[in-house]
């Protein structure tokens, strides 16, 4: 039986004050339920997770939640013709890519919010110009409504059309750290090098959590 809901979303904080060896927080909505085990009823917490999804990457491959099974990944939202924050974000995400591209446990997932323009071919050319491997960094396109929905309701960031914005779209500059259970473990301003420094340190902490387990 459900007891109550706890809403523990913490906006765009990077949680930079975690002492060494402290586990990263689990962000998003959580729900406490009663669980019966061995004749006893105890309270258990069900955390917010990224739901199943299906998009297409720059190589024309279908990318789903199974692509990221048993992986830690960093997610963001962008569009290739973005005249404002996207170039800065991609420069910063390249730092993450370069540091972890040899680590099989780390992937990157970038969702275009302009699928009308950002076709597979456009994303392929974009990735080639960055010089990144599609085995590590997936640039995905798909149904516009599905992209906006997963951005706003699952990753809980701004992602959508806005004709009043430069380029016609409004989106968050956040990088989101997702663990192997598809839970959000950190949110970082992808336009600021010092915040991305924290992200890279937190990736190490998250990797350490799984080593301990």
pLDDT in tens, 50-107: 999 999 999 999 999 999 999 999 999 999 999 899 999 999 999 999 999 999 999 9
The span from the CA of 109 to the CA of 27, in Å, is: 19
- Architecture of the domain delimited by 54-212: 3-Layer(aba) Sandwich (3.40)
Global confidence as pTM: 0.84
> What CA–CA distances, in Å, run from 140 to 20, 46, 83, 137, 197?
35, 29, 19, 10, 25
pLDDT of 35 reads 54
Tokens representing residue 206 in the block: 């998250």
**In the chain, ranges of CATH 3.40.30.10 domains:** 54-212
């Amino acid at each position: 039986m459900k007891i109550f809901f706890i809403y523990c979303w913490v906006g765009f904080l990077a949680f930079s004050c975690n002492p060494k060896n402290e586990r990263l927080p689990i962000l998003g909505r959580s729900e406490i339920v009663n669980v019966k085990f061995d004749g006893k009823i105890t309270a258990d917490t069900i955390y917010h997770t990224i739901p199943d999804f299906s998009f297409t990457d720059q190589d024309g491959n279908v990318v789903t939640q199974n692509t990221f099974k048993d992986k830690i990944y960093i997610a963001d939202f962008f569009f290739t013709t973005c005249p404002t924050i996207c170039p800065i974000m991609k420069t910063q995400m390249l730092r993450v890519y370069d540091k972890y591209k040899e680590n099989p446990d780390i992937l990157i997932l970038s969702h275009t919010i302009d699928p009308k323009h950002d076709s597979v071919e456009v994303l392929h050319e974009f990735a080639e110009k960055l010089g990144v491997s599609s085995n590590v960094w997936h640039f995905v396109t798909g149904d516009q409504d599905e992209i906006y929905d997963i951005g706003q309701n699952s990753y809980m960031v701004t992602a959508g059309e806005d004709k009043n914005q430069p380029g016609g779209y409004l989106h968050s500059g956040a990088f989101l750290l997702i663990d192997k259970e598809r839970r959000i473990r950190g949110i970082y301003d992808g336009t600021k090098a010092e915040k991305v420094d924290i992200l890279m340190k937190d990736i190490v902490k998250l990797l350490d959590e799984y080593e301990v387990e």
